[in-house]
Amino acid sequence: MDQGDSAGRLVRPFTLTGGRTRPSRADFTLITTVTTVDPPPERAARPQPEQVRILRQCARPVAVAELAAHLDLPVSVVVIMLCDLLEAGRIIVHPPHPVRRDPCLDLDLLQKVRDGLGRL
């Protein structure tokens, strides 16, 4: 049977979030990386089509900003869907490297970035 909501691009972004405009949690930044849990947890509910797209994209770790760009969806929409997936145990989240200026930045990290840029 043809499902009415399989129209993909024609779906307005916040329809994908059930009308929600705010994430249920705050752990997603633009450079938080997301990885799909494989195999999925037992008794996992069947994901929505857009969620399936996310799970496919995140077979390898992907930053939230990149994910949003690949899905052609606003970051705010993607983050709400990621919250659902995280709560369902379908993804693992890796936070960005913490940047603390107090007392000072991590010298090892800076040196690493410096060396990496030098190789460009």
Partner 1 sequence: MAGSDPAADAVTAPDTVKILIAGGFGVGKTTMVGSVSEIVPLRTEEPLTIAGVGVDDLDGVEGKRATTVALDFGRITIGRDLVLYLFGTPGQQRFWFMWNDLAIGALGAVVLVDVRRPQSSFAAVDFFERRGIPFVVAVNGFFGRHPYPPEEIRDALALPRDVQVLLCDARERESCRDVLIALVDQLIARVHPLLGAPAQGRPGSCGGA
Smaller CB separation from partner 1, 12 or 46: 12
Smaller CB separation from partner 1, 25 or 70: 70
18 lies in the binding site for partner 1 (CB under 8 A): no
Non-local (6+) Cβ contacts of 8 within 8 A are 49
Among positions 32, 54, 82, 83, the unique one binding partner 1 when judged by CB under 8 A? 32
74 lies in the binding site for partner 1 (CB under 8 A): yes
60 lies in the binding site for partner 1 (CB under 8 A): yes
Instruction: Tell the residue number behind the tokens 């752990």, with chain if given.
Output: 27
Cα separations (Å) of 91 from 6, 10, 64, 84, 110? 23, 26, 12, 10, 29
| Site for partner 1, rule CB under 8 A | 13, 21, 29-33, 35, 37-38, 41, 60-61, 63, 65-66, 68-70, 74-76, 92, 94, 96-99, 101, 104-105, 107, 109-118, 120
